[in-house]
Structure 1
Amino acid sequence: MSPSSASPKLPPFDPADPLGIDDLLEPEDLAVRDTVRAWAADRVLPHVAQWYERGELPVIRELARELGRIGALGMSLSGYGCAGASAVQYGLACLELEAADSGIRSLVSVQGSLAMYAIHRFGSEEQKREWLPRMAAGEVIGCFGLTEPDHGSDPASMRTHAKRDGSDWVLSGRKMWITNGSVAGVAVVWAQTDEGIRGFVVPTASSGFSAPEIKHKWSLRASVTSELVLDEVRLPADAVLPEVTGLRGPLGCLTHARYGIVWGAMGAARSCFEAAVEYATSREQFGRPIGGFQLTQAKLADMAVELHKGILLAHHLGRRMDAGRLRPEQVSFGKLNNVREAIDICRTARTILGANGISLEYPVMRHATNLESVLTYEGTVEMHQLVLGKALTGIDAFR
């Protein structure tokens, strides 16, 4: 056999990347991923179990400034101090952040994909210049007020309203389950007006604005979650986002944020999978590592298949977003699949770890409980199923 006809030498099998997905990434993509992974390993992982147990994120402002310094806030936006990264790079960052904790990814998601994205996409030039550079640097934290106590999946029925009073706007209402609310310097709030639903840029120091923190959570405990109370908050005429009217505005922001969740959920799943592999190869029962038993290997194989299929799906959606071809229905596809599979991976990992799976010495139960929130926020399972159902049949089954 001549050398030219010999089979090419295959690369070794990599248990951490069994499909060779890293081959699809550019050097710049890998650099972003490695930077965020190193930051999370240094600043989050040594402390997050304690934060979770105490139900607080005491260094959120410090973390926000550090995330700003590494370019992670509003990173897929361009100009105004933003990094201008690709959608794939933003997704990789979300994966690494959620591998540390969903609460940290939520901080970044709400800051960049909701509050900053709304101002960047629909704001005036003055609003962009006033807020985006400071938000990109982590000097100002933002929040996004859409969900209400009685109107989650049906934002069109929101009761928060804004009325004109001379040249001013006066906002009244309540928003619920708002990430970053109690520490935010600015809130993007959506309200009913005589013109339709409008978005408003609300400095949180405004008279009549308050944001009591929600306590007693059993999920996303290392995260700040709040209620927003707007009691006749008076704003100037130029506080309204000028470039959008109607639900197209907030739903467009949610599409951008849901894309980050598609990646982030796989970070939580990867963390649990890695913990399960390490445990299965070191924990001995009946005279051998439990990873040597067929049932355990079957679990690990199924977890690996769903994990890396999910990462491959996220990568595909990221390339479509970078090409300007990503549809909201495709984001629903990714969010529905990846969060659902991530929870299943976490639960299976818990069975491999046995009783140790419920201990905060391991990340598994923390990720599993966090993902219970990720499963339903920014669109429940049922809502994304109906989005896909309508796309597949052409029939609207929402009502």
Structure 2
Amino acid sequence: MNAPASYRSPWTDADLDLYRETVRRFVAEEIAPHQQRFARQQHVDRAVWDKAGALGLLLADIPEDYGGAGGSFAHVAVLMEELARAGDYGFGVSVHQIAANYILHQGTEEQKRRCLPRMARGDWIGAIAMTEPNAGSDLQAIRTRATLEGDHYRIDGSKIFISNGSMADLIVVVTKTDPAAGSKGVSLLLLETRDAAGFSVGRVLDKLGQHAADTSELFFDGVRVPADNVLGGHEGLGFYHLMHELPYERTLCAVSAIASTEAALRMTLDHTRERRAFGKTLLELQNTRFKLAEVKTQATVGRRFVDDCIARVVAGTMDADTAAMAKLWTTETLGRAVDDCLQLFGGYGYMTEYPIARLYADARVQRIYGGASEIMKEIVARSLERNGA
């Protein structure tokens, strides 16, 4: 855990401590030494997925009956924390987890047994194709169309900013099956990409940060998908599926954001203890101490909030409003904290060879993906109308 040693997250235990050791060793051996190469090639090696699957790190919260490790969301939180601790934002395991949970909670029994074991082993990498060039947070504005033709759907359209897009073997595609029905005309289709005629991957996109993350354009030109691959077995449930699973996704975002804030604090403390100015270490200067006192306070408050969110997901009591608040607060806090921390590195903070510079670039998108901050505010505002303060 990245929080102060005097504090222990209430959701953790001895078994999770052992699991964390396994995760930390995996990240140290398989990811951290190769980050620059992964960034140049714009994806993490396929072999990393295979090794993670062999260790049981993929789909840790999926029941053993479906090939998962049989753990809880706490195991997933440990993985996300350790990746953030190492400064990795390229290994697309969070999206893989989210796609698997769509199938676990919303899929038919046949869909679960066909897809989840392959995803747990790393044989299939999962993705979710939601965002479109002209439809970001407004899911009802999507134009990708799935038309039922006999025993298959024909998918036509395009998606953009899709994590794991170029490497995905299984994509949960958000489509319109009945454009006239509004939110009730949205369906999710499971597309197996290997040898899928009419499916193509466009550019792997050049981003401000998270350079090792495979983020791509996708195109669907008459792609045929079996009718049995509509998630849950029925049309028109897509919007319900999305709303049901978004709290899981947004809590994952919050876990990553608070762990990143803790990582920024830790690396800045190390730097300011060693760097000297005006005959003192930077940490002895009042401005430095006050800035880091603010960051530590933000990290401590955020850690308690996120720990409560993790416990609620584990217990099955997490709600959309709280998840939106967690995502909003932690990602906005991370942006401010990493900016303050980078400033204390001076010119070195602007050099990409320093982890704080890479974290600064990597952190920016966290206020956008998973639902932009503005959307999170709207969700919280609506909760005020329903429930009051």
TM-score by length of 1: 0.90
Read off the aligned partner of 2:277 and give its amino acid letter: Q
Question: Does 1:225 pair with 2:210?
Answer: no
Shift of the 166–50 alpha-carbon distance from structure 1 to 2, 3 Å rule, reads closer
The one-letter amino acid paired with 1:85 is G
The reply on whether 1:293 has 2:285 as its aligned counterpart is yes
Correspondent of 1:258 among 250, 258, 263: 250
Aligned to 1:213: 203
Which residue is equivalent to 1:119? 103
> 2:181: which partner in 1?
none
- 8 Å Cα contact 2:90-2:210 kept in structure 1: no
Q: What's the C-alpha RMSD, in Å, of the aligned pairs?
A: 2.1
- Residue 199 of structure 1 is aligned with which of 188, 192, 195? 188
2: CA distance, partners of 1:102 / 1:266:
14
Using the TM superposition, give the Cα deviation of residue 120 of structure 1 relative to its aligned residue in structure 2, in angstroms.
Answer: 1.5
Change (3 A) 1:43 1:124: same
The answer as to whether partners of 1:190 and 1:250 remain within 8 angstroms in 2 is no
| Alignment correspondent of 2:74 | 88
In structure 2, do the counterparts of structure 1 residues 367 and 181 end up closer, same or farther at CA, with 3 Å as the change threshold?
same
8 Å contact 1:49–1:361 — kept in the other structure?
A: no
Other structure's SS at 1:394 match = helix
The superposition leaves residues 347-389 of structure 1 with CA deviations (integer Å, 9 ceiling, x where unpaired) of: 1110111111122332112112111111101111110011011
Query: What SS does structure 1 have at the residue aligned with 2:191?
Result: strand
1:305/1:50 CA distance change after superposition, 3 Å: farther
Contact 1:88 1:315 in 2 (8 A): no
Q: Which residue is 1:75 aligned to? A: 60
CA separation of 1:109/1:69 partners in 2, compared to 1, >3 Å: closer, same or farther? same
Kept after mapping to 1: 8 A contact 2:166/2:214: yes
Distance in structure 2 (CA, Å) of the matches to 1:132 and 1:210: 24
TM-superposed deviation, 1:139: 1.5
Residue 20 of structure 2 corresponds to which residue in structure 1?
33
Secondary structure in structure 1 of the residue aligned to 2:318: coil
Aligned to 2:268: 276
Matches within 5 A, 1:314-353: 314-353=306-345
Could you tell me which residue of structure 1 aligns to residue 385 of structure 2?
Answer: 393
Q: Does the C-alpha gap of structure 1 residues 238 and 358 become closer, same or farther in structure 2, counting only changes over 3 Å?
A: same
Provide Cα deviations, 1:53-103, integer angstroms capped at 9, x if missing partner: x2622x431111122123222222213111122222321221111222452
Q: Secondary structure at the match of 1:111?
A: helix
Cα deviation digits, residues 79-134 of structure 1 (max 9, x gap): 311112222232122111122245235x0111111x21122222222222222111
2:146 aligned partner, one-letter code? A
What is the distance in 2 between the residues matched to 1:15 and 1:26?
Answer: 15
* Partner of residue 360, structure 1: 352
Give percent identity, aligned residues only. Answer: 29
CA contact 1:56–1:222 (8 Å) conserved in 2: yes
Does residue 141 of structure 1 match 2:125? yes
Whether the 8 Å CA contact 1:259–1:335 is kept in 2: the answer is: yes
* Pair member with larger Rg: 1
Q: Please, which runs of 5 or more residues in structure 1 have no aligned partner? A: 1-13
Secondary structure in structure 1 of the residue aligned to 2:79: helix
Question: For the residues of structure 2 that align with 1:154 and 1:375, how far apart are their CA atoms?
Answer: 16
Distance 1:64 1:253 in 2: 23
Tell me which amino acid in the other structure corresponds to 1:158: I
Alpha-carbon distance, 1:18 to partner: 5.6
Q: What residue number does 2:33 align with?
A: 46
Runs (4+) of structure 1 exceeding 4 A deviation are none
Cα gap change, 1:308 to 1:50, in 2 (>3 Å): farther
Looking at structure 2, the residues matched to 297 and 92 of structure 1 have their Cα atoms a distance apart, in angstroms, of 30
Superposed CA deviations along residues 212-242 of structure 1, whole A, max 9, x for unmatched, are: 2333211221110111111011122212112
2:93 counterpart of 1:108: yes
Report the Cα distance in structure 1 between the residues aligned to 2:260 and 2:15, rounded to whole angstroms: 23
> Aligned AA for 2:370?
E
Give the 3 Å change call, closer, same or farther, for CA 16–262 of structure 1 in structure 2. Answer: closer
3-state SS in 2 of match to 1:170: strand
* Structure 2: runs of 5+ lacking an equivalent: 179-183
Contact 1:102 1:370 in 2 (8 A): no
Is contact 1:272–1:349 with CA below 8 Å preserved after alignment?
Answer: yes
CA distance in 2, matches of 1:102, 1:172: 34
Paired amino acid for 2:250: R
CA distance in 2, matches of 1:252, 1:69: 30
AA partner of residue 51 (structure 1): F
Q: Residues 308, 36 of structure 1: CA spacing in aligned structure 2 closer, same or farther, 3 A cutoff? A: farther
* TM-score (norm. length: structure 2): 0.92
Larger mean Cα displacement after TM superposition, 92-101 or 309-318: 92-101
CA distance in 2, matches of 1:288, 1:209: 61
1:21 matched to which residue of 2?
8
Partner residue of 2:304 out of 296, 304, 312: 312
Alpha carbons of 1:311 and 1:71: their partners in 2 closer, same or farther (altered >3 Å)? Answer: farther
**Equivalences, count:** 379
The 1:369–1:277 alpha-carbon spacing in structure 2 relative to 1, beyond 3 Å, is same
